[in-house]
Amino acid sequence: MEKNNGGKIIAVIALVVAIAGLSLGFAAFSTSLRIDTAANVGNNANWNIGFSTDGTNIADITTASTVNANETGNPGVIDVTKYTISQNTNAQLSTTAGSSVSYNLNILNKGTLTAYLESVNFGGVSVTCTNATANGIIEGVAGAGTTATGNTSTISNEDCAKMFGVSLKINNTTYTTTSTSITGETIPATAGSNSVPVVLSVFYKNDAAAKAVADTLDGDIVVNIGSITVGYTSTSTGN
């Protein structure tokens, strides 16, 4: 992969399970998102919450609906079921300022109980990188190939995490790996107000640390980011 002013072009994919199969020249991004639901359901009460691609209907629990990346020309497509998001088609990112890919969907409450946001857990997020090609050079002296002392076919997890991040925006609050509190978000069981927008984003960080690592890249990488879990309950936790 040649260095140029436009940066290296890589791809980002979101998967519920581990990556299986790659295209040479692209990096893969793995993340998962799941709604854990818990409710105290009494007589005549109904607890029904899940992802929605249109804000009107909850996605099927097994048959996926698709959502395209927001960015014009980006080929990324995700599959959405009631509780999961997974990748359908690779998206693309580059190591340039502002490079990101995002997907819009909703969390919808079709039951009779108010849904309280209990947790947004990034504990499963662990950004790691591996080589996309056997014995290829990916980190060391950019453009030097196998001739430079210090070039290696591996990249440290620390360096990988310096370059890439993930965020989840629920309604008006953006959660990241550094988020520490929940804002008391609720989804009423009232038609017309029973849906909140969600934006799942993965991005190149573009700070000094990210640039320092990106400048040493001399090959293709596979990026895995782990999993995010979102929890809703029918009982207010006081957040």
Q: Give 56 or 79, the one with higher predicted confidence.
A: 56
Identify whether 228 is part of a domain: yes
Q: Say what the pTM is.
A: 0.78
Identify whether 137 is part of a domain: yes
Identify whether 2 is part of a domain: no
Residues 14, 29: contact at Cβ < 8 Å? Answer: yes
pLDDT at 134: 64
Task: Work out the mean pLDDT of the chain and round it to a whole number.
Answer: 74
pLDDT of 132 above 60:
yes
Look up the domain containing 185 and give its range.
9-233
pLDDT of 164 above 70:
yes
Q: Is residue 60 very low, low, confident or very high in pLDDT (cuts 50, 70, 90)?
A: very high
Query: What are the φ/ψ torsions at residue 227 (nearest 5 degrees)?
Result: -140, 155
Instruction: Express each pLDDT in 167-176 by its tens digit.
Output: 889 999 999 8
Instruction: Express each pLDDT in 25-45 by its tens digit.
Output: 233 444 445 565 556 666 667
Please tell me the distance from the alpha carbon of residue 68 to that of residue 103, in angstroms, as a whole number.
7
Identify whether 4 is part of a domain: no
Identify whether 94 is part of a domain: yes
Identify whether 190 is part of a domain: yes
Number of separate domains in the chain: 1
Identify whether 173 is part of a domain: yes
Instruction: Express each pLDDT in 187-201 by its tens digit.
Output: 999 888 899 999 988
Rg of the chain on CA atoms, in Å:
20
Identify whether 238 is part of a domain: no
